[in-house]
Amino acid sequence: MSGIIYAIYGVLVISFLALAHEFGHFIVARISKIPVEEFAIGFGPSIYERKSKGPNGMNFKIGLFPILGYVKIKGMEDNYDDPEGFYNKGFIAKFFTILAGPLMNLVVAILIFGIVISVFGLPTTTISTVVTGSPAEIAGLKSGDTILRVNNIDIKTWNELVSAIQSNKGNPAMIEVERGTEIVHVKVVPQYDSVRGKWMIGISPKWEIYPLGQSFIEGVKLTFSTLFQMFTFLPELFTRVGVSSVTGPIGIIAMTGEAASAGFLNLLFFVAYISIALAFTNLLPIPPLDGSWLVIILVEGITRRKVSKELTAKIQSIALIFMLFLMFIVSINDIMKLIGK
């Protein structure tokens, strides 16, 4: 039964983040006076449908399967010649209508981080506990140690520490810590945890609670530092290891279950990170993602000439087929990983 509940958690998380993304497009399109033809929650046969009044009335509907959702903006899929449609709007209106989707996902992450940090705190680089028999204990790390550097790389956040350990893999890591008034150097050999799929040294962080205002500032820092790390990881996606690490909706649902089983706090952080990942993915300049639209709009802004609507439609249509095929392959990979567990 718990597996079913965790699967429901995963579906709800993906749907919430997808709807937040679409709502970003929707709200900025309305502000920019670009008609929105349809806003849908879920897919399949409509179980509720209502159209607002007026010549540019929007059709709101809820599908039989209330998972994910979409917003249809006039002039993006058809009606290219409509003077009020997306294609015929100015640079600023089009650019920010597209950018608003990924930005909304970043806003969601900031809000989650801000609330969590103000209530539960933020993990610091100071060690709270050391697991008995772990690589950290064997190396001589102790509770109260503050980690300063890993392999001569400055460490300022717990996230940076985790990334440093993961990138180091099973090689000996030179860790510099502050212990009271002393600076201590230790050599730690991470061990691979097959259950979590991560390299571990066996420590947990001390948490620091911030005032509400400061917590949201820390949330902004954490959100954009995470986004930056994702962009720095981009070249590795083209390696064999990077390709195998790509996860689709099925994998995310499974990971959501794992995060939920580890506790509510862990689940909240996971949702925030997935929201950032969704923003990152959509910012990539790959059709039919938002990033490709942003590139087209930037080209139009620089050249002062509109890209052919026929060419744009053809690229987006072909790319959509490719993305659906890629999603199928990734989903098969996710299923095989689950079977392997």
Dihedral through CA 197, CA 200, CA 203, CA 206, nearest 10? -60
What is the biggest distance separating any 2 CA atoms in the chain, rounded to whole angstroms?
73
**Number of Cα atoms under 13 Å in the Cβ half of residue 287:** 13
Rounded Cα distance between 85 and 108, Å, is 28
The catalytic residue among 22, 37, 176, 218 is 22
3-state secondary structure at position 38: strand
**Residue 336: how many CB atoms within 10 A of its CB?**
9
**Residue 227: how many CB atoms within 10 A of its CB?**
18
Rounded Cα distance between 341 and 195, Å, is 8
Rounded Cα distance between 315 and 289, Å, is 11
Q: Is 258 a catalytic residue?
A: no
Q: Looking at the annotation, which residues are catalytic? A: 22
